[in-house]
A = this chain, B = another copy of it.
Amino acid sequence: MYRTHTCGALRLQDAAKEVTLAGWVQTIRKFGAITFIDLRDRYGITQLLFGEELNRLLEANPPGREFVIQVKGVVMERSNKNANIPTGEIEVAVLSFKVLNASVTPPFTIQDDTDGGDDLRMKFRYLDLRRNVVKRNLELRYAVSRSARNFLHENDFMDIETPFLIKSTPEGARDFVVPSRMNAGQFYALPQSPQTFKQLLMVSGYDRYYQVVKCFRDEDLRADRQPEFTQIDCEMSFVEQEDILNMFEGLIKRIFKDVKGLDYTATVERMSWEDAMWQYGNDKPDTRFGMQVANLKVPRHVFPEKHAFIVESPVEKGGFKVFEEAETVLAIAVSGCSEYSRKQTDELTEWVKRPQIGMKGLAYIKCNTDGSFKSSMDKFYDETQLQSFAASVKASAGDLILILAGAEERTRKAISELRLEMGKRLGLRKNDEFKLLWVLDFPLFEYSAEDNRWVARHHPFTSPRPSDVDTMIHHSPLIEDASKYLEHPYANIKANAYDMVLNGNEIGGGSIRIYQRDLQEKMFAALGMSPEESQHKFGFLLGAFEYGAPPHGGIAFGFDRLCSILGGSESIRDFIAFPKNNSGRDVMLDAPSTIDNRQLEELNIRLTDKNHPSH
């Protein structure tokens, strides 16, 4: 062993001990004939004192920043104590030292506030990983996985590994594929999730399964997506939705406790998907703050069951063409912002007009503290009408009402974004506040106008709510009149599915699964698969359902995202040791890369020129 102690271990009670340390040179400070070096390792920093004699040796062979050195010395009480670090009361008076390895000057400083840009830090990721902030992220990641594993173990879950080289069954996202050398012309696929395997394990009777497992999706990468990502993947047999919700609330609360020291004793709120869409414009609302959406005008076909959410307001009574012509008019009341200046409201208007939001403009009503109103629509609405708006939106004196109008889907998305932005500006989205929410009762199907058929909102193994099973079994999925797809019985089938939302992020999602062959076949048919196709792709699962499949369900948590939220960061990349960039490249390795012709030949494939397609 090159050391007797780590750089985080020594304390005042170790004074006078002779020790050996090894680590990296963090800083070098010369004071005349003596030198101080801060020696760093994973565990901390220890100050080394090179007295006059040693200093001469040091100067003959001077180490620089990030050199790896080994020192023998004696632990001494420091005269000048540093209360900020656990080793701050001592230093090691060096008796001898050895340079174990030199370092050229790093391309950026190894500090919390580094001068390195993103690209440089990714190229030299092994140096970026030395920074304390990054190290803390990976430590948090490990703590989360450790906590999850312990909880699941204590609850009789078994970690069972599922294969990585599987069969390509593209549904939704694209598979990454792997050419097989031994089976010419054939390919494996990398799993998008272990979904069918964990269901087979339930059929096999394993009852409670988990895995912390890499998954792969060949998608066009949006910001903060990775082609490979990690899931905490779980499945249980003989359970109903309620059992799953209870178990996995418990998991997340345990992680809060173990990792953040946080007692989350509150009941986890539950909200239907429809309520979330009406009230927050979003299926993963951030419920750390209120500021719910007021639905002033919404077309009839949207969420037909819940029109109680549409509030009375003078929206169509002022002759304001923008509102009259808009499909949807939505508003939020922002607390304490009635005194926004023209400059501020202009800036908000520019914000909603950005292409990412895509609105044409923003209307506002200032509910002044003196009870008066001031609006961007003063031409169209009188004081009484403005007051009526304020009542509809449940605004109080001092609030700023922000109103968006336009096409339903875009406008709802925009009001949701605006709400989040205002919440952020008002400091209502605190990194150290954690608010969980279950979103339930998603639609089982979405309508694809392109193919005039249903597509699975979640995945084809999600079961309908128990009360909707008969509807699904007893009606044909065929849509005879495309214009009336909303009247098809399938349009109202709800999924027996649930998403767990943390601070406005979906951190996990799952469902009670179909476990009956006939219902599964109906589902595949509803998705436009012929019996032959479903047999070819999922014959093993349909087969398994014939041999005593138990009722079962599960959930998968996005591990990278969960870590980033717990770490108070918006970027999952900060919580992955070796992430890829937005083009799916590992810039440190320079991967992907070309391969030898010999490799291609062995795999029985050749490249096509992108500009000269082969057909």
A559-587 vs B, Cβ < 8 Å mask (1 yes, 0 no):
00000000000000000111010011110
Contact B604 A126 (CB under 8 A): no
Q: Which residues of chain B are within 8 angstroms of A162 by Cβ–Cβ distance?
A: 577-578
Q: How far is the CA of A102 from the CA of B614 in the complex (A)?
A: 50
Q: Which 9 interchain pairs have the tightest Cβ spacing?
A: A167-B591, A129-B204, A103-B548, A2-B238, A186-B592, A180-B592, A66-B548, A42-B207, A126-B200
Contact B177 A599 (CB under 8 A): yes
Q: Which residues of chain B are within 8 angstroms of A149 by Cβ–Cβ distance?
A: 149
Q: How far is the CA of A196 from the CA of B604 in the complex (A)?
A: 29
Contact A604 B610 (CB under 8 A): yes
Q: Which residues of chain B are within 8 angstroms of A41 by Cβ–Cβ distance?
A: 205, 207
Partner of A1, one of B227, B243, B613: B243
Q: How far is the CA of A189 from the CA of B190 in the complex (A)?
A: 12
Q: Which residues of chain B are within 8 angstroms of A516 by Cβ–Cβ distance?
A: 101
A56-71 vs B, Cβ < 8 Å mask (1 yes, 0 no):
0000000000111000
Q: From known contacts A100-B550, A174-B181, A190-B178, infer whether A228 and B164 are also in contact, taking CB-CB under 8 Å.
A: yes
Chain A interface extent, by class: 35 or more
Q: How far is the CA of A220 from the CA of B183 in the complex (A)?
A: 11
Q: A25-B548, A129-B206, A177-B599 are in contact. List 13 more A-B contacts (CB 8 A).
A: A2-B238, A24-B205, A126-B547, A138-B158, A161-B576, A164-B214, A165-B584, A165-B586, A166-B586, A174-B181, A181-B218, A200-B578, A539-B590
- Selecting from A139-147, A365-373, A401-409, A477-485, the interface stretch reads A139-147
Contact A583 B42 (CB under 8 A): no
Q: Which residues of chain B are within 8 angstroms of A539 by Cβ–Cβ distance?
A: 590
Identity of the chain B residue whose Cβ is nearest the Cβ of A548 in the assembled complex: B103
Instruction: Name the residue among A40, A243, A595, A596 with the largest chain B CB count within 10 angstroms.
Output: A595
Q: Is A267 an interface residue (CB 8 A)?
A: no
Q: Which residues of chain B are within 8 angstroms of A95 by Cβ–Cβ distance?
A: none
Identity of the chain B residue whose Cβ is nearest the Cβ of A242 in the assembled complex: B1
Partner of A549, one of B101, B546, B592: B101
- Work out how many copies of this chain go into the complex: 2
Q: Which residues of chain B are within 8 angstroms of A592 by Cβ–Cβ distance?
A: 165, 167, 178, 180, 183, 186-188
List residues of A whose CB falls within 8 A of some B CB: 1-3, 22-25, 40-43, 66-68, 100-104, 106, 124-127, 129-130, 135, 138-139, 142, 145-146, 149, 153, 158-168, 170, 174-190, 197, 200-201, 203-207, 214, 216, 218, 220-221, 227-228, 230, 238-240, 243, 515-516, 539-540, 543-551, 576-578, 580, 583-586, 588-597, 599, 601-608, 610, 613-615
Partner of A67, one of B139, B548, B585: B548
